[in-house]
Structure 1
Amino acid sequence: MASWKRDFASGLIVLGPILVTLYVIYWLYGLVAGITPGLILDEAALRPLISGDGPQAQQTREQIAQFLRVVVALTVFIILTFSVGYLMRTTVGGLVERLVDNVANRVPVIRVVYNASKMAAETAFGEQDSLQTPVKLETWDGLRMTAFKTGKVTEDGREVLFLPTSPNITTGFVIEVESDRITELDEDVEDALTRVLSAGFGDSNRNRGMDAGVSIDVVDEATADGGEKDTGRGKADADDD
């Protein structure tokens, strides 16, 4: 049962953000189509530009009107995205973001999709120095935790790290650590984030080890029986000797 749950979660992480994005675009397109003036939506409004009542002229006007609808919907989507991004830089945006995080992380399925989408967006479009080399931090003897370099150094030479929580990587701790307590990892930021987000189940090294499999020696039943008989005869000969 654990296997199909893991497979379902992996598929949901991949397809969830894509389906949500497509649905948002579809919803936004319907919204724009409902409020945009008829000059753009109605093919009859293009009659002064493309005259004629034949099927060819009517089809051409409809195709142009459809194209204009898509252009307007994409333009509104881009403007809305930039507006929300600018709002997130303000104090009000920070409050809204925390509110959305709290609500999304209370719903089991939405929490996985939301965190995966946010992780992918921050990794793909975030600043280069936001999360740098993933490292292992030795907190206690024999215990290590995954953290990320921020590229910042304190006045006394300590490394500034971000230590995310799991599976909600949008929260965590900013810590200042001496360099000798940090072990750099030979892996990408995406791999380390995936491991933290999946609570350890998404470790790429572990998955590659599982793909390699375990060799199993299959012994034919007849061969096994023959071997047992040969062994029995060998023991009998040894007793006769």
Structure 2
Amino acid sequence: MDRDDLPPPKPPAEPSPEVHSGFVARFRNYFLTGLIVAGPIAITFYLTWWFVTWVDGLVRPFVPIAYRPETYLPFGLPGSGLVVAVFALTLLGFLTANLIGRTLVDLGERLLGRMPVVRAIYRSLKQVFETLFSGKGSSFRRVGLVEFPSPGMWSIVLISQAPSEEIATSIPGQEEHISVFLPCAPNPTTGFFFYVPKSKIVEVEMSTEDAATLIMSCGVVQPGTSSDPQKKMAALAGMAQAAQAANASARLPEPAKVD
């Protein structure tokens, strides 16, 4: 048999597209899993570092050079200003608790009370801080739902206090109202403040931390979600595989129509 009569050699087999697709899917799943694990840790460390350095920058100018750690160490010591600030605030609270401290605070408040613009700012901030940090009030410790921005659409609100007598008498109608704050997503520090009838509020069993998480995540992280990282990773892998399957089905050619 001549060499020309032999069949041509078969080309090398190409890699199966399923193998390539499976490798990409696993790579994407592992990458997203690593991002979920490292992302919150990195952001938490970054925000903590920013806060510590910010406090250090505010406090360090008031600390004499002889008492600064970097005077005796070849490197700076992050957090020294924060420690000084904590001790200073604690000492201030201790001094304010006695008669001399209360007298000095009253004198300072009287001086601020005579300044037209500063007076309003100081009184408002003092009331806010006393309400938030006293631990006795109920403002913003309850979560509710109101119909906003239109009927049938519900928004999360933080329930505050009842309106003052002057505002309550100015609101039309005889129904009791209550003040609420509606945070905006994804930044819950901004939002809307308004008075709503008490009967229009649906109070829910949810902590303010869960409500803030729900708002900042735009509904992605729901209250009661399992905190097990293995379950979260498995759910993420399932979501990625489902998205891959959806994309693969979308790329499939449509069957030819038979007339």
**TM class, shorter-length:** 0.3 to 0.5
TM normalised by structure 2 equals: 0.43
Of structures 1 and 2, the one with the larger relative CO (CA 8 A, separation 6+) is 2
Higher helix share: 1
